[in-house]
Amino acid sequence: MPLSSKVRDRCRPYLGTGERIQYLIPGMSLYVNRMHARVGFLVMVTDRHVTLLACSRWTLNRPKQIWERLPRDTELGPLEIHPSLGPILSVGGIDLEIDEEYIASVRAANLEVSGDALPEDPYPGG
């Protein structure tokens, strides 16, 4: 289910000046610091950063703190489709279970930084 505008509003205080959210991907951790812990996270991809926002176990989609801030050219992943768990996304050292509907967002965010988003110009210099 897509995230509501309220969730985006809760993430805005973690943005830098003039920064804007491009993608927001919710996930549930499998492990945190090598300990089994089910904690909600939001992967916030902006025009400048990839920010991993930690939520609490009881209030999913309500960010509490910045867990990790990475440069925007960071590729999200690896993204693995696990047979019993579903999609598993690794970001900032955390493995997150995500819903299948967010696979397209992960791939789109990665295409933007890979340089493969647009085909090569067939008529360069013309």
Q: What is the pLDDT of residues 53-101, one digit of tens each?
A: 999 777 789 999 999 999 999 999 999 998 888 899 999 889 999 999 9
Which contacts of 47-54 are long-range, i.e. CB under 8 A and separated by 24 or more positions?
A: 47/19, 47/20, 47/22, 47/72, 48/16, 48/19, 48/72, 49/16, 49/19, 50/74, 50/76, 50/91, 50/92, 50/109, 51/14, 52/91, 52/92, 52/94, 53/11, 53/14
Percent of the chain with pLDDT over 70: 86
The pLDDT assigned to 112 comes to 87
CATH 2.30.29.30 given to domain 5-114:
yes
Q: What is the pLDDT of residues 11-35, one digit of tens each?
A: 999 999 999 999 999 999 987 666 6
Domain map of the chain by residue range? 5-114
Distance CA 8, CA 87 (A): 22
